[in-house]
């Protein structure tokens, strides 16, 4: 109990943006340990205005995702992107790539972000860009599933179980900027994003990549981003870099 009280006090004090605190078994337990003075989660008004300056150029750490996505264009009519914000990948990707005219792109994000994204799409006349709040509302007929820097914020079932619930399963999955432990179990921590504290999932490799491989996906390519997760007092749980993966379904789609 003393350790939990100390952790709560640390979380309530001034904390560096993108720093981490605590180790928890679930998003719910992590949220219960957020001090009453702090907001919880990503769905707060301020986040809707983030990343607007990134809408017209590809970010350097998105180039691996862009590289593989370009190779899938002829095999992709519908894209579903988890955590695509207001279109931080959609706008620059469709600007630099020769995308098919009938390409449909649906972004799954929190309500504060999807409202802003839908308004921006109307302003820019993008009729093929759609926004929803749940993956289940967008998954039908998905050919390529993208998740860049977003799986760590998804509460509920683990990502492979969400893919399993899609019908049919996507032919291609691109995961980018995701903290994955090569050895050991995953866990949940809390990340301070400046305006709130977010429960934040660190995956064990067996929970994410191995689980997808057992479903019939082949890991075609991997890459890394130089970013760390450091949990104060728990050095054995640190993550040295974030991972990226392109996986292709090798068996017929269910």
67, 109, 139, 206, 241 from 198: Cα distances, Å: 30, 14, 25, 24, 20
Q: So what's the pLDDT on residue 52?
A: 62
Number of structural domains, the chain? 1
Q: So what's the pLDDT on residue 36?
A: 81
Q: So what's the pLDDT on residue 34?
A: 86
Q: So what's the pLDDT on residue 6?
A: 41
Give the C-alpha separation, 195 to 210, whole Å: 34
Q: So what's the pLDDT on residue 14?
A: 44
- Looking at the domain assignment, is residue 254 inside a domain? no
- Looking at the domain assignment, is residue 2 inside a domain? no
Q: So what's the pLDDT on residue 64?
A: 96
- Looking at the domain assignment, is residue 7 inside a domain? no
Give the C-alpha separation, 143 to 80, whole Å: 8
Q: Closest Cα partner for 44 from 245, 247, 195?
A: 195
- Looking at the domain assignment, is residue 10 inside a domain? no
Q: Closest Cα partner for 90 from 124, 136, 115, 140?
A: 124
Q: So what's the pLDDT on residue 49?
A: 59
If residue 23 lies in a helix (H) or strand (E), which one and from where to where?
strand 20-24
Q: DSSP for 215-242, please give it.
A: TTEEEEEEEEES--B--TT-GGG-B--E
Instruction: Give buried/exposed letters for 119-139 (b at 16+ CB in 10 A, else e).
Output: ebbeeeebebbbbbeebeebb
- β-strands 144-148, 172-181: how paired? parallel
Q: DSSP for 76-127, please give it.
A: -SEEEEET-TTTTTHHHHHHHS---TT-EEEEE--HHHHHHHHHHHHHHT-T
Q: So what's the pLDDT on residue 196?
A: 77
- Looking at the domain assignment, is residue 150 inside a domain? yes
Tens-binned pLDDT, residue by residue, of the chain (254 aa): 434 444 444 444 446 888 899 999 999 999 898 888 787 665 655 655 555 666 888 989 999 999 999 999 999 999 999 999 899 999 999 999 988 888 999 999 989 899 999 999 999 999 999 999 999 998 789 999 999 999 999 999 999 999 999 999 999 999 999 999 999 999 999 999 777 788 999 999 999 999 999 999 999 999 999 999 999 999 999 999 999 999 999 987 78
Give the C-alpha separation, 153 to 117, whole Å: 19
CATH number, domain of 84, equals 3.40.50.150
At residue 111's C-alpha, the angle toward residues 42 and 8, to 5°, is 25
Of the CA atoms within 13 Å of residue 11, those in its CB half-sphere come to 31
Q: So what's the pLDDT on residue 213?
A: 97
- Looking at the domain assignment, is residue 189 inside a domain? yes
Q: Closest Cα partner for 224 from 173, 159, 179?
A: 179
Q: So what's the pLDDT on residue 41?
A: 61
Q: So what's the pLDDT on residue 2?
A: 37
Residue ranges making up the domain that contains 32: 15-249
- Looking at the domain assignment, is residue 1 inside a domain? no
Tens of pLDDT along 230-242?
999 999 999 999 9
Residue 131, C-beta contacts closer than 8 angstroms, at least 6 positions apart = 106, 107, 108, 109, 114, 115, 117, 118, 121
- Looking at the domain assignment, is residue 3 inside a domain? no
């Amino acid at each position: 109990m003393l350790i939990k009280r100390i952790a709560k006090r640390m979380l309530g004090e001034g904390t560096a943006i993108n720093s981490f605190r605590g180790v928890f078994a679930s998003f719910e337990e992590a949220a219960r340990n957020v001090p009453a003075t702090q907001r919880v989660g990503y769905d707060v008004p301020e986040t809707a205005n983030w990343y607007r300056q990134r809408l017209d150029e590809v970010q350097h750490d998105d180039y691996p995702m862009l590289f593989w996505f370009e190779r899938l264009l002829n095999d992709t009519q519908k894209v579903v992107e988890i955590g695509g914000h207001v279109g931080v990948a959609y706008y620059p990707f469709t600007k630099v790539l020769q995308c098919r005219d009938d390409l449909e792109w649906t972004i799954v994000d929190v309500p504060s972000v999807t409202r802003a994204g839908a308004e921006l799409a109307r302003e820019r006349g993008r009729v093929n860009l759609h926004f929803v709040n749940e993956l289940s509302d967008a998954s039908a007929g998905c050919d390529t599933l993208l998740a860049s820097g977003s799986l760590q914020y998804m509460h509920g079932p683990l990502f492979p179980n969400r893919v399993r619930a899609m019908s049919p399963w996507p032919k291609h999955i691109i995961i980018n900027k995701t903290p994955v432990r090569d050895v050991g179990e995953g866990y949940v921590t809390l990340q301070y994003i400046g305006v709130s504290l977010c429960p934040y999932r660190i995956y064990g490799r067996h929970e994410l990549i191995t689980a997808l491989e057992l479903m019939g996906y082949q890991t075609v390519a991997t890459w890394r981003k130089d970013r760390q997760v450091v949990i104060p007092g728990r050095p054995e749980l640190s993550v040295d870099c974030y991972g990226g993966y392109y996986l292709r379904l090798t068996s017929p789609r269910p």
